[in-house]
Amino acid sequence: MDAKASPSSRRELTKTQNRETILEAARLVFIQLGFATATVRDIIRATPLASGTFYNYFKSKEEVFQAIRDETALAVRPALRAARLKAESAEAFIAATFRTFFAYVAANRGSFAAATQTDSIHVRIDTPEVLAGFAELRQDIEQAMSRGLFSTLDAEFLTAAVVGVAFEMAEAMQRRATMDAEAAAQFATALFMAGITALPGHTADAN
Amino acid sequence: MDAKASPSSRRELTKTQNRETILEAARLVFIQLGFATATVRDIIRATPLASGTFYNYFKSKEEVFQAIRDETALAVRPALRAARLKAESAEAFIAATFRTFFAYVAANRGSFAAATQTDSIHVRIDTPEVLAGFAELRQDIEQAMSRGLFSTLDAEFLTAAVVGVAFEMAEAMQRRATMDAEAAAQFATALFMAGITALPGHTADAN
Amino acid sequence: MDAKASPSSRRELTKTQNRETILEAARLVFIQLGFATATVRDIIRATPLASGTFYNYFKSKEEVFQAIRDETALAVRPALRAARLKAESAEAFIAATFRTFFAYVAANRGSFAAATQTDSIHVRIDTPEVLAGFAELRQDIEQAMSRGLFSTLDAEFLTAAVVGVAFEMAEAMQRRATMDAEAAAQFATALFMAGITALPGHTADAN
Amino acid sequence: MDAKASPSSRRELTKTQNRETILEAARLVFIQLGFATATVRDIIRATPLASGTFYNYFKSKEEVFQAIRDETALAVRPALRAARLKAESAEAFIAATFRTFFAYVAANRGSFAAATQTDSIHVRIDTPEVLAGFAELRQDIEQAMSRGLFSTLDAEFLTAAVVGVAFEMAEAMQRRATMDAEAAAQFATALFMAGITALPGHTADAN
DNA sequence: CATGAATGAGAGTTCATTCAT
DNA sequence: TATGAATGAACTCTCATTCAT
């Protein structure tokens, strides 16, 4: 009846909180049980909410997973693009890509890669948002090529190589007790700039 | 119990046959549905055997998984291992790995990674064979390091990088009309040996 | 609570409108899904109203059903009743019944009986309107008997016979390319007036 | 190992018994709750069996319903055809049809027509078997016409009329405390032979 | 009164596993 | 050993209904 900051904000607040509660619970459950093993019920149980409430927010565990991934992807991508656009050398481009990516993964442990569960079964799920991120990388690579940053090479294969190294190394990094994003970024960048002979830790070739 | 040529060998034969039948069915089912989605029932259904029979051979689908892994360890991969062991240079090691992998993918189009496209979600599930192969890769890398082929570097990260590039490039390769496994292998090998500046198609650096 | 032209009439209007909105939605839903299959949710969904609002007007879908029945009792059927009441012969009574029914079916093709074809099962669900009409038919038959129009016979059986013929013939009529309601009505009327020997198309008895 | 009447007959016996148990329970449940209201779980609960067992025999309550109806229809049809083929007059034909049908309904109370449940909602489900029975009736009518038993009339409409009267009167009959199949058959036969003026109970026409 | 999110009972169904034959 | 029906726990999901706003 009188001055209120945001009418019906209590309801809205609860809705946002519940959504976040579910997402947070799902994150934990996916890490602990793995995406495939986890059930909607597991997620609900990790929550103070009733079972039906889940379905007011998501239709399935796949949708929750998408939401988690998209939340992350939407946050990472702008940072990645900005860093790459600013790059004035191939190394800067590559380094920016890996550094930003690994830093994000380290900061959001569990958001990426539905864990290495059940006897080393390896599952990776790419949402449209994540795929869009790949497409952006490829565009940026092609643009960098036309900027003269890279020579003319197979952009599709290079994109695949970057994506593959990024995701696979991210998983390896997550398996470690201490996640050193900077070390991972340096390793990947060195590999892409000069191959294995340039990798950190390299001393001399015995052959 | 009564007169028979070879009372126990007949039985042994059936036992071995049944075991093999189950393993073969499981292989197909895991490829088609993915390990996580597949159920013991699915495996039995892909078999002329009765459900109870399954439990005379395996306790769970995990156990079948292990068996497949153990079995294929004796078949496909020794050649790859041999090539890597014979490798007298880092390049030979890397080249052998990628060449064999991409050739395998090209020859077994679509079956090396079961892509269960559900609702525009892109799912990738590694088959037991491939996973086991990657475990071996890491061992070989470590051994190569101790042989002095590689310098002392982060074997876990390097394995991840190789795996990531192999998988992601394999998908890119499969999307193309003509799957040129050799070209893919050369691209990947060049990248790992000397970085992007050495990649095929490279002409000159404009910067 | 404060100054308003007609404080309560405004409210009354909304109340009546909402009630009518729900009833109209329910009618459609019952026709499309059948009474048994339809849920309160289905009715609400076919409405711009909120779920809770439903319960301000009705306690259950059964209560809506009753309301529809009561309402349509005031609309479609008086004409039919009037015709039967005016009937001064058994034939006029029977003819009026069938003619009106078949005309209604022809004019409302497909909506008088919701045929939910599930798995080659043929389901027939009577709408409230039609059911109420048949209840009236029985009353009218009994009244006609007391008026001396019909002799004293089993009113329940006769009602069932009329209903059965009406419904089953209606379906047969609908299966035909051209729906001739008048022909159907004549056939049914002749049958009820003098049996199969009097049916149209009858020429001579060969026996 | 030695002489046995029927090997593995114990298993087969149990299977048959379980199937019959479920059908019997379903029959009761359908009568008490009506087909639409009844759930698979209701049927299971009316049974000493486990929930999963139901699905070893039927896929849904619709399938159980079909089984019940088909069981009946398969029993009635041969009797009906035989009686009709023997008929040497139109009356014999009609009388045989109704007498056999009503007698069967009376003897198998509850097998026909999934009861008049929930506030007079009327549901009738015809299975393929039942529909086949209708088709047979029509064939028989056409044959009777060519035999000169009936004059040339609209066989489709007549079939519909017979079916409609039979089913609808069967329901009326079932609603009564004492089911007099013979009375029902006489009523229906008289109606079809000479119309309402010939119906039992008829005395004089007041008009 | 209207709203619409929360609730939790309960429906359908599948599954791994057992065990009498 | 092979068989395959029985079991019942557990899962996904929908629904009628309530109640704070």
CA distances from D53 to C94, C133, D35 (A): 52, 44, 20
Helix/strand number for chain B, H first, E second = 9, 2
Would you put residue D57 in left (φ > 0), alpha (ψ -120 to 50) or beta?
alpha
Let me know: does C8 contact C89? Beta carbons within 8 Å: no
**Could you tell me the pLDDT band of residue D48, with boundaries at 50, 70 and 90?**
very high
- The confidence score (pLDDT) of residue C71 equals 73
In 3D, which of B164, D196, C43 has the Cα closest to residue A171?
B164
- The confidence score (pLDDT) of residue A186 equals 94
Let me know: does B34 contact B125? Beta carbons within 8 Å: yes
Q: Which chains touch A (3 or more CB pairs under 8 A)?
A: B
Token pair recorded at residue B91: 């390049």
Q: pLDDT per residue over B153-186, tens digit each?
A: 899 999 999 999 998 998 889 888 888 999 999 9
How far apart are the CA of A8 and the nearest CA of chain B, in angstroms? 35
Tell whether B117 lies on the interface with A, counting CB pairs under 8 A.
Answer: no
**Could you tell me the pLDDT band of residue A1, with boundaries at 50, 70 and 90?**
very low
Rounded Cα distance, A112 and D1, in Å: 62
> DSSP label at D120?
T
Rounded Cα distance, D105 and D171, in Å: 9
Q: Which residue has the higher pLDDT, D201 or D119?
A: D201
Is the pLDDT score of A3 beyond 70?
Answer: no
Q: pLDDT per residue over B77-96, tens digit each?
A: 777 888 898 899 999 999 99
Is the pLDDT score of A6 beyond 80?
Answer: no
> DSSP states of B30-51 as a string?
HHHH-TTT--HHHHHHTSSS-H
- Which structural domains are found in chain C, ordered by start? 7-72 (1.10.10.60), 77-198 (1.10.357)
The gap between D40 CA and E2 C1' (Å) is: 37
- The confidence score (pLDDT) of residue D10 equals 66
The gap between D43 CA and F7 C1' (Å) is: 17
Which chain D residues are within 8 Å of C89, Cβ to Cβ?
Answer: 207
Any idea which of A118-132, B124-138, C71-85, D64-78 has the lowest mean pLDDT?
A118-132
- The confidence score (pLDDT) of residue A162 equals 96
Q: Looking at residues D132-151, what average pLDDT do you find? A: 89
Rounded Cα distance, A50 and A57, in Å: 12
Token pair recorded at residue C186: 């004549």
Vertex D204, ends D161 and C193: CA angle to 5°? 25
CB contact under 8 A, D151 and C121: no
In 3D, which of D116, D105, D176 has the Cα closest to residue C155?
D176
CA distances from D172 to A205, B9, C146, C167, D198 (A): 98, 71, 22, 15, 20
Closest nt by CA–C1' to A49: E6
Any idea which of A160-169, A190-199, B3-12 has the lowest mean pLDDT?
B3-12
Q: Hey, which residues 77-106 in chain D have their CB within 8 Å of chain C?
A: 89-90, 94
The nucleotides of chain E lying under 7 Å from a protein CB are: 1-21
Q: Work out the mean pLDDT of chain D and round it to a whole number.
A: 82
CA distances from B72 to B170, C129, D6 (A): 21, 70, 46
Token pair recorded at residue C115: 């045929």
User: Is 0.85 surpassed by the pTM of this model?
Assistant: no
CA distances from C59 to B65, C66, C69, C71 (A): 56, 11, 16, 17
Q: Which residue has the higher pLDDT, C20 or D77?
A: C20
Mutation target among B29, B62, B131, B157 for the A interface, most CBs of A within 10 A = B157
Backbone angles phi, psi at C34, to 5 degrees: 85, 150
Closest nt by CA–C1' to B38: E15
Are chains A and C in contact at 3+ CB pairs closer than 8 Å? no
- The confidence score (pLDDT) of residue A79 equals 84
- The confidence score (pLDDT) of residue D107 equals 81
**Could you tell me the pLDDT band of residue C162, with boundaries at 50, 70 and 90?**
very high
Q: What stretches of A23-135 adopt beta strand conformation (E)?
A: 123-126
Q: In what order do the strands lie in the sheet with B122-126?
A: A123-126, B122-126, B113-114
CB contact under 8 A, A154 and B118: no
Rounded Cα distance, B169 and B161, in Å: 12
Q: Which residue has the tokens 């639409």?
A: D36
**Could you tell me the pLDDT band of residue D129, with boundaries at 50, 70 and 90?**
low
Rounded Cα distance, B19 and B26, in Å: 11
Torsion over CA: B20, B25, B28, B33 (sign) = negative
Are chains C and D in contact at 3+ CB pairs closer than 8 Å? yes
Backbone angles phi, psi at D124, to 5 degrees: -130, 130
Is the pLDDT score of D202 beyond 50?
Answer: no
Is the pLDDT score of C4 beyond 80?
Answer: no
Judged by DSSP in three states, B116 sits in coil
Neighbouring C-beta atoms of residue B193, cutoff 10 Å:
17
- The confidence score (pLDDT) of residue A110 equals 56
CA A180 to chain centre: 16
- The confidence score (pLDDT) of residue A30 equals 84
Judged by DSSP in three states, B178 sits in coil
Q: Which residue has the higher pLDDT, D5 or D171?
A: D171
Q: Looking at residues B40-50, what average pLDDT do you find? A: 95
Q: Which chains touch C (3 or more CB pairs under 8 A)?
A: D
Residue of A nearest to B170 (CA): A160
Q: Looking at residues D26-33, what average pLDDT do you find? A: 85
Let me know: does B88 contact A207? Beta carbons within 8 Å: yes
Residue B152 has its nearest CB partner, among A122, A123, A203, at A203
Which chain C residues are within 8 Å of D203, Cβ to Cβ?
Answer: 151-152
Q: pLDDT per residue over A132-174, tens digit each?
A: 788 889 999 999 999 889 888 899 999 999 999 998 999 899 8
Torsion over CA: C7, C13, C16, C17 (sign) = negative
Is the pLDDT score of D118 beyond 80?
Answer: no
Closest nt by CA–C1' to B51: F4
- What does the longest C-alpha to C-alpha distance in chain A come to? 84
Q: Which amino acid is at B51?
A: S
Judged by DSSP in three states, C75 sits in coil
Residues 6+ apart with CB under 8 A from A63: none
CA distances from D126 to C2, C116, D74, D112, D181 (A): 62, 12, 13, 10, 22
Residue D160 has its nearest CB partner, among C150, C172, C197, at C172
- The confidence score (pLDDT) of residue D206 equals 41
Q: pLDDT per residue over A27-64, tens digit each?
A: 888 878 878 789 999 999 999 999 999 999 999 999 99
Would you report the helix, strand and coil content of chain A in percent, each value rounded to 5? 65, 5, 30
The number of CA neighbours under 13 Å toward the Cβ of C49 is 25
Are chains D and A in contact at 3+ CB pairs closer than 8 Å? no
Residues 6+ apart with CB under 8 A from A19: A57
- The confidence score (pLDDT) of residue B94 equals 94
Residue C88 has its nearest CB partner, among D172, D200, D207, at D207
Rounded Cα distance, B149 and A206, in Å: 6
Q: Which residue has the tokens 């393993």?
A: B23
Residue C201 has its nearest CB partner, among D65, D153, D169, at D153
Q: Which residue has the tokens 């079909």?
A: D66
Q: What stretches of chain C adopt beta strand conformation (E)?
A: 113-114, 122-126
Judged by DSSP in three states, C73 sits in coil
Q: Looking at residues B41-48, what average pLDDT do you find? A: 94
Is the pLDDT score of C144 beyond 70?
Answer: yes
Q: Looking at residues C126-139, what average pLDDT do you find? A: 76
**Could you tell me the pLDDT band of residue C103, with boundaries at 50, 70 and 90?**
confident
- The confidence score (pLDDT) of residue C139 equals 92
- The confidence score (pLDDT) of residue B106 equals 81
CA distances from D181 to D176, D193, D201 (A): 11, 18, 17
